[in-house]
Amino acid sequence: MMKIQQLAAESVAIVLSGKNLTLVLQALWRQNPLLQSQQRGAIQDIVYGVLRYLGQLEVILNQLVKQPLSDKKLRNLLLVSLYQLYYSESPEYAVVDCAVATTRKLIKNKGAAGLVNAILRNFLRNDTSLLNLANAHEVGRFSHPQWWIDKLRYQYPQQYEAILQANNRHPPMTLRVNRRKTSVADYQTLLSQYKIESRQVWDNALMLFKPVPTQKLPMFEQGYVSIQDAGAQLAAPFLDVSDGMIVLDACAAPGGKSTHLMEAANIQLTVLDNDQYRLGRVSENFKRLGIEPFRQVCGDAALPSSWWSGKLFDRILADVPCSASGVVSRHPDIKWLRRITDLPMFLNMQQNILDALWPLLKSEGKLLYATCSVFIEENCQQVKCFLEKHSDARLLPIVHGEVNNGQLIPNCFHDGFYYALFYKV
């Protein structure tokens, strides 16, 4: 357990210094190739958990120390240990003993090990009162930065607590059934034969009762299903493609929506992204499903002159870069790394992409604007701004039981998304 604690604490430190959680863990696996799958799983669970409940853990830790801890290694190790003591099934004595031993190994200060032992045992004696104290602070209760809490409370006064709570849940594992190869009912039956329970969320989306490794999904490599959040699966139906259409998926990587569009109809698809490495992942997804995009291009969606062939599109999907405030349950690092000052950058990027793509759309064509955000600046306010600038744009209604004015609020079944469908007159 010592190695797990140490690597988890180091990973938390790297993420909080400003690094993407997914990339940090990928680098960790490369640097430690001898780690067993069980160890990787334990480290990943701890790192995700600490970031998920960081606000609460920090408030508790601040109550347990008389003065701020200047040693970041010590602080991160304590955060990891507190998470293990409260949220994991590891024996309490083992967590404390390993934390003390890890401290002796990593920190030269002779008194550090005794301090760690005292802090963790103090927590075990007073955990209920400490948790109550954490809940008295909004950052401790919701484990989000205060600015994020304030923004959601202002924008969603009736729903902000539910959104914050959804962000701290473990996300579901949801499959998209490839209707070209099987039906939802038939694949659900196949899952049952493998003792994998599921429920249909809507359309082609099957949510598993318990996540399973990809390699345990029947017929996955044969392209029968893809892993995709139920909210993300709404994009293709909303865009309303049909056979023979010329379609652009801008900002396409990693390709979940692109492949869904190709499953929906026989279209001539251009897959665009500005990251060549991420485009490689798109190609892998298409290959597994046994389909090929019409054209795959590395380029900037805001600069069509560098990649556009000059042929107008019947449909355009603009799944634009955003704050990702709707997918925090899958990426808990986002809420701690994102700054309120980042929003103007995203807003400018979104406006540039929309303005650049609109001339590429045929008359009577449709453009679907999509974000994985719940912040209204990136969503309905952005749409209002676009309509004011483009007299030939009309906003079409999106009819779906859980989508309110284009906004899908995150909950235990899906992430948060926003969709706006424009029609060109």
Note the pLDDT tens digit of each residue in 328-376. Answer: 999 999 999 999 999 999 999 999 999 999 999 999 999 999 999 999 9
pLDDT (average), residues 128-156: 97
Over the stretch 176-222, which tens digit does the pLDDT of each residue have? 999 999 999 999 999 999 999 999 999 999 999 999 999 999 999 99
pLDDT at 142: 98
**CATH classification at residue 222:** 3.30.70.1170
Co-location of 223 and 239 in the same domain: no
Name the domain boundary from 124, 142, 160.
Answer: 142
pLDDT at 360: 98
The Cα–Cα gap between 69 and 112 comes to: 11
Co-location of 300 and 361 in the same domain: yes
Alpha helices in 250-342 (DSSP H): 256-264, 276-289, 334-337
Query: Quick one: pLDDT band at residue 54, thresholds 50, 70, 90?
Result: very high
pLDDT (average), residues 7-29: 96
pLDDT at 343: 97
Q: Which residues contact 159 (CB under 8 A, 6 or more apart)?
A: 409
The Cα–Cα gap between 378 and 334 comes to: 16
User: Which position has the token pair 């795959």?
Assistant: 296
- Helices 2-16 and 21-31 cross at an angle (nearest 10°) of 140
User: Residue 17's Cα: distance from chain center in Å?
Assistant: 19
The CB-side HSE value for 96 (13 A sphere, CA atoms) comes to 14
pLDDT at 127: 95
Alpha carbon separation from 315 to 74, 240, 246, 285, 368 (Å, rounded): 54, 8, 7, 22, 8
Q: 200 in helix, strand or coil?
A: strand
**CATH classification at residue 333:** 3.40.50.150
Hey, what long-range contacts does 83-86 have (CB within 8 A, 24 or more apart)? 83/46, 83/49, 83/50, 83/53, 83/57, 84/5, 84/46, 85/120, 85/123, 85/124, 85/127, 86/127, 86/131
pLDDT (average), residues 412-423: 98
Residue 81 located in a structural domain: yes
Co-location of 189 and 126 in the same domain: no
Co-location of 138 and 264 in the same domain: no
pLDDT at 380: 97
Name the domain boundary from 96, 121, 142.
Answer: 142
pLDDT (average), residues 22-29: 96
pLDDT (average), residues 311-328: 98
Co-location of 384 and 262 in the same domain: yes
pLDDT (average), residues 129-144: 96
Token representation of residue 86: 């409260």
Co-location of 196 and 330 in the same domain: no
Residue 191 located in a structural domain: yes
pLDDT at 9: 96
The Cα–Cα gap between 113 and 237 comes to: 58
Token representation of residue 259: 């492949």
pLDDT at 107: 85
Task: From the candidates 98, 251, 372, 412, give the one annotated as an active-site residue.
Answer: 372
Query: Quick one: pLDDT band at residue 143, thresholds 50, 70, 90?
Result: very high
DSSP 3-state helix, strand, coil percentages of the chain (rounded to 5)?
50, 15, 35
**Count of domains in the chain?**
3
pLDDT at 75: 95
Over the stretch 148-170, which tens digit does the pLDDT of each residue have? 999 999 999 999 999 999 999 99
Answer whether residue 293 shows pLDDT above 80: no
Residue 161 located in a structural domain: no
Q: Which residues contact 422 (CB under 8 A, 6 or more apart)?
A: 358, 366, 367, 368, 369, 386, 393, 394, 395, 396
State the DSSP H helix or E strand holding residue 386, giving kind and residue range, or none if neither: helix 380-389
Residue 156 located in a structural domain: no
The residue segments making up the domain with residue 64 are 2-142
Co-location of 249 and 387 in the same domain: yes
Co-location of 212 and 352 in the same domain: no
**CATH classification at residue 104:** 1.10.940.10
Residue 159 located in a structural domain: no
Query: Quick one: pLDDT band at residue 244, thresholds 50, 70, 90?
Result: very high
Q: State the pairing for strand pair 417-424/407-408.
A: antiparallel
Co-location of 384 and 274 in the same domain: yes
pLDDT at 14: 97
Q: State the pairing for strand pair 361-371/313-319.
A: parallel
Query: Quick one: pLDDT band at residue 15, thresholds 50, 70, 90?
Result: very high
Residue in 142, 200, 261, 181 with CA at minimum distance from that of residue 413: 200
Residue 350 located in a structural domain: yes
Co-location of 405 and 331 in the same domain: yes
Task: Look at the chain and count its residues.
Answer: 425
Residue 23 phi, psi (nearest 5):
-70, -35
State the DSSP H helix or E strand holding residue 408, giving kind and residue range, or none if neither: strand 407-408
Is 372 catalytic? The answer is yes
pLDDT at 2: 83
Name the domain boundary from 205, 227, 249.
Answer: 227
Percent of the chain at pLDDT exceeding 90: 92
Answer for the pair 2, 98: CB distance below 8 angstroms, yes or no: yes
pLDDT at 133: 95
Residue in 176, 208, 163, 212 with CA at minimum distance from that of residue 329: 163
Q: State the pairing for strand pair 268-273/246-250.
A: parallel
Co-location of 199 and 261 in the same domain: no
Q: When comparing pLDDT for 21 and 67, which is higher? A: 21
Residue 87 located in a structural domain: yes
Answer whether residue 68 shows pLDDT above 90: no
Residue 393 located in a structural domain: yes
pLDDT at 291: 86
pLDDT at 88: 93
Co-location of 372 and 409 in the same domain: yes
